[in-house]
Amino acid sequence: MTHIFGIPIIFLAVVLPLSLWRLSLIGIPLNAAIVLAIPAITAWILLDAGVGLALLVGIIPLLLIAAIVATHASPTVVWLLAASLFIIGWTLQILGHARFEHRKPALLDNPMHLLIGPMFLIAKLLVDLGFRPDLAQAIQAEQRSRQVI
């Protein structure tokens, strides 16, 4: 549960200040958050189309919320909100890892896991909802191989 809330909160905290910088891409008004999200979303879709597209559906509302807040609030408010959300999100992550998982976050071993976290969350939700039995089998096989080692 801490991942379900913590990861989106951290994502929102990161994209909020980026939403302050308005850009135009081939005449389309955007902001830096959207422009920087495009390569990440593309990579997620290339890694697994189903998970990547589900992730896209989850990220669009967060990008919209960030854009709306950045449009209607002062930069100071946006930065304070982003900092608060960042602290809340990481508190949830640290609490979840320390109290429930009893292991350190994977990103401490590899910072690239910051990009994998959102994909992991969506993949886990799809598995838990029964939409990806193939991923469930792969996860179970991985867990069995860890027990053997």
Instruction: Give per-residue pLDDT as tens, 82-115.
Output: 999 999 998 998 888 777 766 766 666 766 767 7
User: Do 149 and 74 contact (CB within 8 A), yes or no?
Assistant: no
Distance CA(18)–CA(32), nearest Å, equals: 5
Count CB-CB contacts under 10 A for residue 18: 20
User: Do 95 and 2 contact (CB within 8 A), yes or no?
Assistant: yes
Reported as a pLDDT band with limits 50, 70 and 90, residue 1 is: confident
Distance CA(110)–CA(43), nearest Å, equals: 17
139 CB-near residues (< 8 Å, 6+ apart): 127
pTM: 0.81
Number of domains present in the structure of the chain: 1
Domain with 131, as residue range(s), is 2-148
User: Do 148 and 72 contact (CB within 8 A), yes or no?
Assistant: no
Residue-wise pLDDT for 16-37, tens only, equals: 999 999 988 888 889 999 999 9
> Is residue 38 pLDDT above 60, yes or no?
yes
